[in-house]
A and B are shown apart, each in its own frame.
Chain A
Amino acid sequence: MIVGKQKSLEEIWDMVEDYQKVLVFGCNTCVAICHEGGNKEAEILGSLLRIKAKQENRDMEIKTGGIERQCEHEYLDQASEAVEEADVVLSLACGAGVQFLGEKFPHKTVLPGLNTTFIGVVDAPGEFSERCQMCGECILHLTGGICPIARCSKSLMNGPCGGSNNGSCEINPDIPCAWQLIHERLEAQGRGHLIDVFIPPKNWITSRAGGPRNQKREDVAT
């Protein structure tokens, strides 16, 4: 899922303080799981902004709302009434949602209330960590299901490097060495021979190096 972190109240206030009708708009899928941008978080942030507006003596009307996903036309259609009534929309979606909302309502100012941080997993309640960098060419079949692009600090294709120390990365001892994990996983699966297979330099054309990416499935596209 996409993980995000809500911007500080000060930063958000600086963005919205000059508007009169503000809609704080949640996205109730990925960023709701990390408790930062869901519809519930939109309500909480709306309450804080109302208190802030009162303290700053600003005559603002702050409404809250949300949909399941701000990255799909079908859901955004449901939002049109609330969006049209507002002077500005503070979206708590990821960067994709903020942009798609802005594309759907180009005459409205849409502001980001969240910093999109990474694609990751829920390690434990309230704890999230990165797993995928969307490189566009998955090699998890060669690395025991552990991604060296996302989880090795140096994104090495063949490792570990000399900085691996007792299972930790030299960048930060709290980061496990991805290549140590790969070794251990492959050995445990009886596929330890794969560690000797040289992985050639990656063709990054499938990643961001090839510019913004598009994908089309002909049998579904209209």
Chain B
Amino acid sequence: MQYLKTLLVKVDIDPERLEMYNLSAAMGPKWMEICTEFTERIKKLGPSPIWWAEHDHKKKESD
């Protein structure tokens, strides 16, 4: 996971966008908690550089 994060940095993607959790199928409440926290984290980070690149590309095409 640490290695993958270093790869993301190389392409200007915040490594905070990637995380791995080990959970069993019986850990529903923990799963819900992680999903909520991670969703909040991603919302704070905003759209990814890939999204922005595609957005800019589409905008240029429509102009």
A residues contacting B by CB (< 8 A) are 9, 44, 48, 51-52, 54-57
Interface size class of B (residues with CB under 8 A): 10 to 19
Q: Mark B46-62, 1 if CB is under 8 A from A, else 0.
A: 00011001101100000
Q: Report chain B residues within 8 Å CB of A48.
A: 7, 10-11
Q: Closest Cβ of chain B: how far from A5's Cβ, in Å?
A: 15
Tell me the bound Cα distance from A87 to B12 in angstroms: 27
List 9 A-B pairs, minimum CB-CB distance, nearest first.
A55-B53, A51-B11, A9-B10, A57-B57, A54-B53, A48-B11, A52-B11, A54-B50, A55-B49
User: Can you give 13 A-B contacts (C-beta < 8 A)?
Assistant: A9-B10, A44-B7, A48-B10, A51-B50, A52-B11, A54-B50, A54-B54, A55-B12, A55-B50, A55-B53, A56-B53, A57-B53, A57-B56
Give, as a whole number of angstroms, the nearest-CB distance from B16 to chain A: 17
CA distance A52 to B8 in the complex (A): 11
Distance in angstroms from A162 CB to nearest chain B CB is: 42
Task: Looking at the assembled complex, report how far the CB atom of B38 sits from the nearest CB atom of chain A, in whole angstroms.
Answer: 21
Q: How far is the CA of A9 from the CA of B12 in the complex (A)?
A: 11
Q: Which residues of A contact B53 (CB under 8 A)?
A: 54-57
Q: Interface majority SS on B: helix, strand, loop or mixed?
A: helix
Known: A9-B11, A48-B7, A54-B54. 12 other contacts (CB 8 A): A9-B10, A44-B7, A48-B10, A48-B11, A51-B11, A51-B13, A51-B50, A54-B50, A54-B53, A55-B49, A57-B56, A57-B57
- In the assembled complex, which residues on chain A have CB atoms less than 8 Å from the CB atom of B50? 51, 54-55
Residues of B within 8 A of A51 (CB): 11, 13, 50
Alpha-carbon distance between A9 and B6 when the two chains are bound, in angstroms: 12
Q: By the criterion CB–CB under 8 Å, are A55 and B7 in contact?
A: no
Find chain B residues with CB under 8 A from A54 CB: 50, 53-54
Q: How far apart sit A56 and B50, CA to CA, in the bound complex (Å)? A: 9
Instruction: Look across to chain A and name the residue whose beta carbon is closest to the beta carbon of B4.
Output: A44
Closest partner residue, chain B, to A51 (CB atom): B11
Flag B1-37 by CB within 8 Å of A: 1 or 0 each: 0000001001111000000000000000000000000
